[in-house]
Each structure stands twice: as structure tokens, then as C-alpha cells.
Structure 1
Amino acid sequence: MIDFWAEVKEAGLTPEIRDGLRKRYRMRGQKAVEAVESGRVEKYNDFFVVKGRDEDYIVEDDFCTCKDFTYRGRCCRHILAVRIATLTNQYTQKDAWYLDFLGENRQAR
């Protein structure tokens, strides 16, 4: 049997993969897919950003700055979105570093 994540990489976001993500991760899986498909995942040189409705969430490896991750300490929808986006190459590449990202966000306030 093929590993689920290997299937995601091989097949992309097919209807079967979307259903599998919903079954495994419920609403977190659904929202992760929505973030990827709506182009809200950005890859910087040293981390990822998932754009939310009200905030941007920094994701690096298995860490996220969202409240769900902070309080529960487990995989959140933003980490899932980055994993899906990475496997399917569906993210926007930004040629910038963390300090550049901070500067952009300070100017936006």
C-alpha cells in the first residue's frame, strides 16, 4: 500500500485526495486544501507563510505561529497547507528572508 503523502505528491489534489484529507483531518484538512487552492501559501527563503483572513501565520518545519498550534501543540491547518503545497508545488515563491517579511508587515500596519 502506498503512503498517503506519497499519493498526494504523485497525484496532486484529486477528488480522492481531497476526500482523504477531509477524512483524516476533518475541517483542518478542508481548510488546508482551501488555502492551497486559493494561493495563500507563500514560500520564503527560510520559512513559509499561510495567509489567513485576519493574520499571516509563519510555518517552519512542524511549528506554526497560530493559536491552535500554540495551545494544542499539534498539527494545525497551516502546517497541513504547507505540506500539501510543498508536495504539489502549489505555492508562491518569495525571494526574501524572515527579516524582509517582518519589514513588509510593519509597513502594512
Structure 2
Amino acid sequence: MIDPWQRICEKKVLDDEGRAAIVAQYGPRGKKALDAVDRGLVQKYRDFFVVTGSTGDHVVSEGVCTCPDFAFRQKPCYHIIAVRIAEATGGFEIVDRWYQETWKM
């Protein structure tokens, strides 16, 4: 099996083989992560990465996510996978403010 992270980090691009490797390793969560990156749903704030999901924004920091799936399983959810993909490929939007500031709005 191809290691998707090694391939993506080496090439800095998400090609068809890399996509297939993500799906092979993570199944439906991998598909959702790829969709989130493709749709531009990953944002990098000054303090956290944020992935917009179907139920709202989910904060991802140091391999931990605020979503219920991660809290229940303690394994990578699609938000964490999407952030890893986005970090490796540059596929995220930069938001030049602290995410914590949005809580006050």
C-alpha cells in the first residue's frame, strides 16, 4: 500500500494516486477530507486550523479536533485528515486573525 503522507509531502501536490491512497487508508473519512480540501473548507487562523463541516466549524490543533467523531473514537476524523492534506499541499485559506476573536462576534 502506498503511504499517502509520504507521497503528498514529497510531491507537494495531491494527484490521483495520492487521493486513492488517502481513500484506501481512511475510507469514507478520507473521501470527506478530500472533499473538504477541494471545496476550500480548511482555514488557517493565527491560532488554529478550522474546518467547516456540516454541523459548523471544527477547530483542529496538534492532531486533536473539537468534533463529536474525534471525541468518541479518539482517532483521526475527516477534519484532521483534511488539515493534514491542506498543510502538505498548501490547500488552505489563510485568515489573518485569531480564531478566538470570532467567538466574541
Same fold flag (TM > 0.5): yes
Moved over 3 A (4+): none
The match for 1:26 is 27
The match for 2:65 is 64
Secondary structure at the aligned position of 1:103 is classed as coil
- Any gaps of 5 or more consecutive residues in structure 2? none
Q: Which has the higher helix share?
A: 1
How far apart in 2 are the matches of 1:71 and 1:47? 21
Between the two proteins, what is the percent identity of the paired residues? 43
The match for 1:107 is none
How far apart in 2 are the matches of 1:9 and 1:96? 27
- Any gaps of 5 or more consecutive residues in structure 1? 105-109
How far apart in 1 are the matches of 2:31 and 2:3? 20
Question: Over aligned residues, Cα RMSD in angstroms?
Answer: 1.4
Count of aligned positions: 103
The match for 2:83 is 82
How far does the alpha carbon of each residue in 1:16-58 deviate from its partner, in whole angstroms, 9 at most, with x for none?
1111001000001010000001000000001010001221101
The match for 1:5 is 5
Contact 2:4 2:22 in 1 (8 A): no
- Sort the Cα spacing of 1:87 and 1:60 in 2 relative to 1 into closer, same or farther, 3 A: same
How far apart in 1 are the matches of 2:90 and 2:99? 21
TM-score normalised by length of structure 2: 0.91
How far apart in 1 are the matches of 2:54 and 2:71? 18
Secondary structure at the aligned position of 2:88 is classed as helix
